[in-house]
């Protein structure tokens, strides 16, 4: 099998059996980037020399029988939001000076290095990861490997496109309103947003209580292994959780049949594309028939769009005002969000936080009756690249077409998107599985059950 088609688990198995080396796998990924990324634009930095040096060190460990981690030698890359020692972290912005010391790793970066993974470069993101598609004044437009006319989604669009395009089997994204799940759905991969604080973040995200980090992979098993690497606490994040009591790799494949779950096709207020809805309906019917009883049930809250956009704008403004020169270079649409954020008062912000807390209580009560909630990940499929909203839709802001994702940032719950089919146009459709806070292992186990069901 071509290394670019292999999962992280398959690569590690091949290393252990001495059927493949980390150098061969890394070289294949680097060659793939060179071959296709000129069109896709998933990378804003590739460091071939450093990647091969890391791969040779991993190869020596495997030859000696002393790998240092679960995914030692597996190629990956860093979203250009995570600080990465030796490489600039520009956040898709022209306002950040690349010529300054870059001598700190974010917790995510540090964990991947300590596990022996091979960092090949950095992935594109919209400026300060602010929207649900990936383009920026600094790096241009990132396109979908499934159909390069279409957007990869965002803000972790470069990360998703790299995984979907064979430029590394796994990645890590950030998600403060859907930024892992949106591009996972659009690109046909797995994207997991764990409980808030499960994966430590530093520096603290400007999007604060909305912000999460998590795996972007081709399989649920790879996501579970990455969670075991990423989920240890870090003193630089005061919101990070205690270490999990069990391993995610030990729990993701456990029995979940018999657990009652809920399916909400619209959350009570979302207009869903007919073909997307039909694909999700068909998968949910199979879930029910396979022994996981499904009840149609809406969670019972109204669209929290206004509160979310208020929190989002205030958070973006807080960061942007610390970036000298940003007013001259900022993405014009982000500049409008910045202006709105400057007008948000403390009382308004706390009222929005109170609404988010009430939403969390509503979902907590809902999960007393239903182990998980299943929804479409997105009400639409990927649309033409270079636009913040679907052309001709009449929508004005990106959250208006991501109504299934941002509520669960406000509640800080774990949520995963898994690919469940394609439309007649060949575009991927994702199914979202949402669990109670701290039920990350359950969400992964249900996702694995659905993944197995689709494959069989």
- In this predicted model, what pLDDT tens digit does every residue of 257-283 receive, in sequence order? 999 999 999 999 999 999 999 999 999
The answer, yes or no, to whether residue 292 has pLDDT greater than 90, is yes
Give the model's pLDDT for residue 301: 97
Residue range 225-248: mean pLDDT, rounded: 95
Give the model's pLDDT for residue 206: 87
Catalytically active residues, by annotation: 79, 155, 179
213 strand-pairing partners: 174
Contact, 131 vs 175, CB < 8 A? no
pLDDT band at 375 (very low <50, low <70, confident <90, very high): very high
pLDDT band at 414 (very low <50, low <70, confident <90, very high): very high
76 strand-pairing partners: 119
The residue with tokens 């590394």 is: 168
Residue range 127-145: mean pLDDT, rounded: 98
- In this predicted model, what pLDDT tens digit does every residue of 54-97 receive, in sequence order? 999 999 999 999 999 999 999 999 999 999 999 999 999 999 99
Cα-only R_g, the chain: 20
The residue with tokens 């070289």 is: 27
Q: Which two tokens stand for residue 189?
A: 């991969």
Report how far residue 42's alpha carbon sits from residue 145's, in angstroms, rounded to the nearest whole number: 9
Q: What is the pTM of this model?
A: 0.98
Q: What domains are there in the chain, each with its CATH number?
A: 3-251 (3.90.1300.10)
CA-closest candidate to residue 126, choices 352, 398, 358: 398
Q: How far is CA 132 from the centre of its chain?
A: 11
Q: Which helix (H) or strand (E) holds 23?
A: helix 22-40
Greatest Cα pair distance, the chain, in angstroms, is 61
Report how far residue 16's alpha carbon sits from residue 228's, in angstroms, rounded to the nearest whole number: 20
H-type alpha helices, 132-260: 157-164, 181-187, 220-230, 248-251
The answer, yes or no, to whether residue 1 has pLDDT greater than 90, is no
Contact, 164 vs 187, CB < 8 A? yes
Residue range 198-212: mean pLDDT, rounded: 95
Residue range 166-172: mean pLDDT, rounded: 98
Contact, 206 vs 321, CB < 8 A? no
> CA angle 7-13-14, nearest 5°?
90
Question: Angle 440-455/220-230 helices, nearest 10 degrees?
Answer: 160
């Amino acid at each position: 099998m071509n290394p670019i088609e292999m999962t992280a688990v398959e690569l590690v198995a091949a290393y252990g059996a001495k059927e493949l080396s980390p150098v061969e796998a890394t070289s294949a990924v680097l060659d793939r980037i060179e071959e296709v990324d000129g069109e896709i634009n998933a990378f804003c930095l590739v460091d071939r020399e450093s990647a091969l040096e890391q791969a040779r060190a991993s190869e020596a460990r495997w030859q000696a029988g002393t790998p240092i981690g679960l995914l030692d030698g597996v190629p990956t890359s860093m979203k250009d939001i995570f600080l990465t020692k030796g490489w600039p972290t520009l956040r898709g912005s022209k306002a950040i000076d690349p010529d300054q010391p870059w001598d700190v790793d974010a917790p995510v970066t540090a964990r991947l290095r300590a596990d022996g993974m091979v960092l090949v470069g950095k992935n594109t993101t919209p400026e300060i990861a602010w929207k649900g598609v990936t383009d920026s004044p600094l790096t241009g437009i990132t396109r979908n490997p499934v159909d390069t006319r279409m957007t990869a989604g965002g803000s972790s669009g470069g990360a998703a496109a790299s995984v979907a395009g064979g430029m590394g089997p796994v990645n890590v994204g950030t998600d403060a309103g859907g930024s892992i799940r949106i591009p996972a759905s659009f690109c046909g991969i797995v994207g997991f947003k764990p409980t808030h604080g499960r994966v430590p973040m530093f520096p603290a995200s400007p999007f604060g209580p909305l912000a999460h980090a998590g795996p972007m992979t081709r399989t649920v098993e790879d996501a579970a292994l990455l969670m075991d690497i990423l989920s240890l606490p870090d003193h630089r994040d005061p919101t990070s959780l205690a270490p999990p009591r069990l391993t995610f790799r030990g729990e993701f494949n456990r029995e979940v049949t018999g657990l009652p779950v809920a399916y909400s096709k619209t959350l009570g207020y979302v207009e869903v594309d007919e073909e997307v809805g039909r694909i999700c309906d068909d998968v949910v019917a199979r879930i029910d028939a396979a022994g996981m009883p499904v009840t149609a049930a809406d969670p019972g809250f109204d669209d929290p769009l206004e509160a979310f956009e208020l929190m989002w704008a205030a958070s973006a403004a807080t960061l942007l005002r610390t970036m000298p020169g940003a007013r001259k270079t900022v993405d014009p649409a982000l500049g409008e969000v910045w202006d709105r954020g400057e007008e948000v008062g403390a009382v308004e912000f706390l009222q929005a936080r109170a609404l988010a807390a009430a939403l969390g209580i509503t979902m907590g009560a809902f999960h007393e009756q239903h182990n998980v909630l299943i929804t479409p990940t997105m009400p639409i499929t990927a649309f033409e690249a270079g636009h913040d909203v679907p052309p001709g839709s009449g929508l004005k802001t990106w959250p208006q077409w991501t109504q299934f994702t941002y509520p669960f940032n406000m509640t800080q719950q774990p949520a995963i998107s898994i690919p469940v089919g394609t439309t007649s146009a060949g575009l991927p459709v994702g199914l979202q599985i949402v669990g109670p806070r701290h039920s990350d292992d359950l969400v992964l186990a249900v996702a694995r059950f659905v993944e197995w069901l689709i494959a069989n």
